[in-house]
Chains A and B, each alone.
Chain A
């Protein structure tokens, strides 16, 4: 054990002291923030503006059709399909002669094809304009209609989950976000740290230092030392990221104007209402409060605990397999590619399942995928984000964890047997069949 500890220390410090580790650790969060910012920027700046000429023979929707940020409707008289481009319109919308009770289509002709979102937006605008017109036809006045529209925007869905006598506010959007983010993070780290273990093993083998070390320690100790050492590097990286995120957000909070800060505090004290309804809270203060309020609906200690557990469990499960593959590779790193395939396939499948589960945490496939250790680290995280025990019962969580522990004990045992033969064997092309033989032959 003492020697395994020495190996862990070497594996850990040789990586953490490396400049690449520091750069990666501090640049990755910045890169992620940058990517998010860039994608928001492009989705805002990349918006198309459409100027649509509407041909409305009955004048049916002329009064009710409303412009949006991206679409402006106008009702010119001398425009038709032959000349709308010359007249400066991007599209032309031709409405039929509406007849009551009869379904009829309207036609949109465009110079450039239109995205699905934009089409849906136009379609819903037109339908609501038609609806408004029908309501007005039925005798409801325009100003009443407007006030109803405004009033109906006030309400929003607040979901609560029942826990015995008490109920707790839940937020599906947040759960989905957390589930997706942690699933993706585990998926990426399995690949990154798994590959790191594999490269480390390959390095020792191709450098021919393996035999020197194995004359001092058991092959299993060397393998475990490497796996644990690199796992510790991963944990260190997560820890630094968490510190970095907390540091950055509290630093950002410090830059808020003091009146907004005090308003946020008031909102917090009064459960989202300004004192005595005296004034409307500032919009940014309201947003910050809403964000904090939403974040508070998640059970963070449980999520962080599960994340660390599933990260470590999944890592140990896959890293052992990656180590076994690394031990069979000869001089040519290309050999690793085909042997890695059976390991990367379940990882990719799990990621696909995770994407489905973030939207629907309680399907049979979600259940089974969160029990099988190949996929449980990612899939269970996606489910846990929806809450325990409301989405995942305690026994399911316990069983999944137990399966994962049993799973990584098994893969470690299996890989240990492959590794101890592979690490000393040169000049032989190894297939999965041979690896299987090594794993199950007698000692």
Chain B
């Protein structure tokens, strides 16, 4: 798919390609020349602080906004908001329902707006309601549901029409751990079946756990793009954890510096010009009994804070659209 396009942004099997997307508002550049690809069947994390341009980016991908310039390719062809909305399931961060409408009717209505027939929609909704143990909800009204319950309903509505691209903006906010796991398992299952998932959040531990690939945006620009493992490698700082037998101790020296210590556990940073082997050799020479030795990679949270800190992106939120 897409090879013939001979475009540098296209990989072997990109479901979605963003090429030089720009969206400027009166006073700011909400999205300023952003390009990336999303591989088919991957779980893709779109990260960024508040006001970074995530929502604008997602609204362009869902056809709510038109980009000022740049291209969006879905399965290698130009994205057509009129036709392609049916291939997309979007669960926005600020989500709602008609409070007075019965849940079953509402789900059917929203599915029909995505192009499903009534019969097809009813069948699918029954399947999902059964799966999530929501069958008894059919004739209830949304105003009778708790926040977590209505979130489950939102998720069902988002994935009901089996979209190729599922966009979830903060899908776990307000869910208890049990329901969060339920949704998480479902996300894995959908990805396995071939759906591509864009997952937008500021919760880095969730991203680390779920996503294959991430893009970090800040102030309308892409500042990071890569696989989660690759990015952690890229930002590693030669930190290691060492555990030695109780009673013995090590101290900073030419080879490494101790950053942190607690009982007989140490966090060290290997100094420039030395390797792990130098450290081990040093410990053996000191006749210290080694219990554990592990590389410590930075968390995405640390990388995020390091890259974003001090840019005051939050101040950009919702200015003069």
Contact = CB atoms under 8 A, between A and B. Distances in A.
Given A10-B109, A209-B96, A209-B98, A214 B64 contact: yes
Contacts of B113: 3, 6-7, 213, 216-217
A209 B318 contact: no
B321 interface: yes
Nearest to B82: A218
| Interface residue range, chain A | 20 to 34
B76 interface: no
A300 interface: no
A6 B64 contact: no
A388 interface: no
A143 interface: no
Nearest to A205: B96
B98 A207 contact: yes
Contact of B63 (A203, A212, A215): A215
Contacts of B90: 211-212, 215
A215 B94 contact: no
B92 A212 contact: yes
Interface residues of B, number: 29
Contacts of A214: 64
Contact of B95 (A7, A208, A218): A208
A3 B82 CA distance: 11
B159 interface: no
B149 to A, nearest CB: 16
B67 to A, nearest CB: 12
A209 B63 CA distance: 16
A426 interface: yes
A424 interface: yes
A163 interface: no
Most chain-A CB neighbours within 10 Å: which of B81, B88, B95? B95
Given A216-B85, A424-B64, A6 B99 contact: no
Given A212-B110, A217-B113, A421-B321, A207 B96 contact: yes
A242 B137 CA distance: 40
B114 interface: yes
A208 B112 contact: no
B318 A208 contact: no
Contacts of A209: 95-98
A436 B101 CA distance: 34
A144 interface: no
B92 A14 contact: no
Contacts of A428: 318, 321
B66 interface: yes
Given A14-B100, A217-B85, A218-B82, 13 more contacts: A10-B109, A207-B97, A208-B95, A208-B96, A211-B95, A212-B110, A215-B88, A216-B110, A217-B113, A218-B81, A424-B64, A426-B318, A443-B66
9 contacts: A6-B112, A10-B109, A207-B97, A208-B94, A210-B96, A215-B63, A215-B90, A216-B114, A428-B318
